[in-house]
Structure 1
Amino acid sequence: MTDQPQVATEQNQASQSITIDGVEYQLSDLSEEARAQVVNLRVTDQEIAKVKQQLAIYQTARAAYARSLSEKLPSKQAH
């Protein structure tokens, strides 16, 4: 077992399930506390995805700024 469980969820009209470390569980079979932790994991995963998107935007902007700066620097001969 890993330190951080691998979680995947599947939804359909009849039931919801979650797969943790390769084992599928019906959400209806979990305790209220366990379902609350599933919600926490989902929210956290969504926030991580947002942060990753923001990071990609910032990295793209940084590369553009660096390229622009490079174009504006006086040229120097390599020694």
Structure 2
Amino acid sequence: MSDQASGKVTIDGREFAVSDLSQDALNQLSSMTVVDRKIGEMQQEIAILQTARNAYAQALAAALPKD
């Protein structure tokens, strides 16, 4: 979405100079960046939890009585 380090940002396929954005647009962009980072963190957390769940499922299967 953005490359703020270069002073430009691309939104919906359109490129804008960061200096041309209103304060409201900059605030919204900042909020989106925070949310995107949080989504990434949560996706990592989900992957960790799914891995743990799989390990518990394997341990449960091994602990069940054999036929």
TM-score normalised by L of structure 2: 0.92
Out of 8, 20, 32, the position equivalent to 2:23 is 32
Any unmatched runs of 5+ in structure 1? 1-7
- Say if 1:17 and 1:25, in contact at 8 Å, map to a contact too: yes
Any unmatched runs of 5+ in structure 2? none
Out of 42, 58, 73, the position equivalent to 2:49 is 58
Structure with greater helix percent? 2
Note the C-alpha offset of 1:35. Answer: 0.4
TM-score normalised by L of structure 1: 0.79
Runs of 4+ in structure 1 displaced over 4 angstroms? none
How many aligned residue pairs are there? 67
CA RMSD of aligned residues (A): 1.1
Separation in 2, partners of 1:72, 1:16: 58
Aligned identity (percent) is 43
